[in-house]
Amino acid sequence: MSAESTEAREPGEPRPDLLAALTRISRLGAAMTRGRLVERAAEAAGLGRDRPAVGVLVTLRTAGKPLRIGEIADRMQVVGPHITRQVQALEKRDLVRRIPDPHDARARLIEPTEAGAEAANRYLAFLLGWFGDTLADWPAQDRDDLIRLLARFTDDATARLALLDGGED
Amino acid sequence: MSAESTEAREPGEPRPDLLAALTRISRLGAAMTRGRLVERAAEAAGLGRDRPAVGVLVTLRTAGKPLRIGEIADRMQVVGPHITRQVQALEKRDLVRRIPDPHDARARLIEPTEAGAEAANRYLAFLLGWFGDTLADWPAQDRDDLIRLLARFTDDATARLALLDGGED
DNA sequence: TATTGTTATACTCTATAACTATA
DNA sequence: TATAGTTATAGAGTATAACAATA
């Protein structure tokens, strides 16, 4: 535990700056998914409006290697059947294909097709370009700090979240 | 090393650090909502598992003043009918009440009851406590930087997002 | 006529349960 | 018998459309 700052947690007014930050994150998240940014990125990539399927494609793209259904589900933190359906939809559009898993005949590996990989690249380029533009006017120091601290924070928080879910107490 | 960082935006591999950060944010968001953190906070506050209704209550609590339905919807970035239903549910549980809007007889103002305000406080205390604990081991400088930069970033991004949605092209 | 809110309905996304095939 | 995946169904959350009341 830390010195003063984390102790000033009265039920009424706990750490106003943190509360403000969390409130903003929540609003930004809502604005991103519900707003048009993600849809525009998908359309700019020629992927239409199927957001969950785009998520699968991006997961495969950032993984950089073929993944099994269960592995995609883990990375996206959703259950298996959901991925099954998205992969089927992507397969119909020739954006992914299934290849045998040499180690396990029950599973198959999913990989993007060339078209799928290119679409994922365009999607990510759009999205990262947009965020890059948002940060373009920032001092380089602040920009680097934010990206670095954010990565660390999400790692810490995700790890603690896993503890919470695992501990079930 | 961030001199040319914003220029290295090739379609294939654009700003790996930013991509990594965004991927993590997305995963953290999924883990938070789908995981049990929000539900635990709500249960710790005696609010049960009705997440959307909790969101309304927290919105009212952080606003610090009675809000109209439309204003709650704006702040939560959802449409009106959704708020109508959540407010009705909260009203049945005596967590909010409606008071007349002195300036407009069409609208009514929603405000938390004492029980509602206390539950919102407990909820926020739990959530902020959890995040505070996550940051507890951090150097104070990093902690402050993160909160400050995050607030600025979400403000900038939200403003740009509004432009995008408004400008419809 | 424009605006605030409500009611009723539909859609998107994800979860759970039951089943098949391979390990 | 355990595990990977699929199929079928159910649920949560939010949107759209049609309407009522007041400005």
- In angstroms, the CA of A113 and the C1' of D1 are apart by 37
Nucleotide nearest to B49 (CA to C1'): D12
Name the phi and psi angles at A68, rounded to 5.
-80, 165
CA–CA gap between residue A95 and residue A110 (Å, rounded): 10
Residue among B11, B131, B153 whose CB faces A125 most closely = B11
DSSP state of B77: T
CA–CA gap between residue B34 and residue B2 (Å, rounded): 35
In the predicted model, is pLDDT for residue B7 greater than 60? Answer: no
> A96 to chain B, minimum CA–CA distance in Å?
18
Q: What is the pLDDT of residue A161?
A: 85
> A78 to chain B, minimum CA–CA distance in Å?
9
CA–CA gap between residue B64 and residue B60 (Å, rounded): 6
Could you tell me the CA-to-CA distances from A156 to A160, A162, A163, B109, B148 in Å, in that order? 6, 10, 11, 40, 18
What's the CA angle centered on A50, arms B161 and A105, to 5 degrees? 135
Query: Looking at chain B, how many residues does it have?
Result: 169
Report the amino acid identity of residue A147. I
When pLDDT is cut at 50, 70 and 90, the band that residue B2 belongs to is: very low
Q: What is the pLDDT of residue A166?
A: 62
Question: pLDDT of chain A along its 169 residues, tens only?
Answer: 434 444 444 444 557 888 888 888 888 888 887 778 888 899 999 999 899 999 999 999 999 999 999 999 999 999 999 999 999 999 999 999 999 999 999 999 999 999 999 999 999 999 999 999 999 999 999 999 999 999 999 999 988 888 876 654 3
Residue A87, judged by CB atoms within 10 A of its CB (0-12, 13-18, 19+), counts as: buried
B80 touches strand C (CB under 7 A): yes
CA–CA gap between residue A59 and residue A158 (Å, rounded): 18
- The answer to whether the CB atoms of B22 and A136 lie below 8 A apart is no
Tell me the domains of chain B and their CATH numbers. Answer: 20-137 (1.10.10.10)
Q: What is the pLDDT of residue A165?
A: 67
| Mean of pLDDT over chain B | 88
In the predicted model, is pLDDT for residue B14 greater than 80? Answer: no
Choose among B101, B127, B156, B121: nearest CA to A31.
B156
Q: Which residues contact B96 (CB under 8 A, 6 or more apart)?
A: B56, B57, B60, B87, B90, B110, B111, B112, B113, B116
In the predicted model, is pLDDT for residue B99 greater than 90? Answer: yes
A84 touches strand D (CB under 7 A): yes
Residue among B14, B27, B125 whose CB faces A9 most closely = B125
CA–CA gap between residue B126 and residue B120 (Å, rounded): 10
Which residue, chain included where needed, has tokens 């959703």? A78
Nucleotide nearest to B69 (CA to C1'): C5
> A98 to chain B, minimum CA–CA distance in Å?
23
Which residue, chain included where needed, has tokens 């290697």? A65
3-state secondary structure of A110: strand
Q: What is the pLDDT of residue B21?
A: 87
Nucleotide nearest to B101 (CA to C1'): C4
Q: What is the pTM of this model?
A: 0.87
Residue among A10, A37, A76 whose CB faces B161 most closely = A37
CA end-to-end span of chain A, whole Å? 21
A5-19, B62-76, B86-100, B121-135 — which is least confidently predicted? A5-19
> B32 to chain A, minimum CA–CA distance in Å?
8
- When mean pLDDT is compared over A52-61, A150-159, B23-32, B150-159, the highest value belongs to A52-61
Could you tell me the CA-to-CA distances from B163 to B6, B160, B166 in Å, in that order? 21, 5, 5
- In angstroms, the CA of A95 and the C1' of D5 are apart by 20
- In angstroms, the CA of B154 and the C1' of D16 are apart by 29
Q: What is the pLDDT of residue B5?
A: 42
And the tokens for B108?
């009514």
Nucleotide nearest to A81 (CA to C1'): D6
Mean pLDDT (whole number) for B93-98: 98
Q: What is the pLDDT of residue A162?
A: 80
When pLDDT is cut at 50, 70 and 90, the band that residue B59 belongs to is: very high
| Alpha carbon B134 to chain centroid, angstroms | 18
A165 touches strand C (CB under 7 A): no
Give bridge partners of residue B98 from the DSSP assignment. Answer: B110
Mean pLDDT (whole number) for B131-142: 94
Alpha carbon dihedral B119, B122, B125, B128, in 10-degree steps, equals: -50
A51 touches strand D (CB under 7 A): no
A6-20, A140-154, B91-105, B154-168 — which is least confidently predicted? A6-20
In the predicted model, is pLDDT for residue B101 greater than 90? Answer: yes
B108 touches strand D (CB under 7 A): no
Could you tell me the CA-to-CA distances from B164 to A28, A132, B43 in Å, in that order? 14, 15, 38
And the tokens for B74?
């704006």
- The answer to whether the CB atoms of B14 and A132 lie below 8 A apart is yes
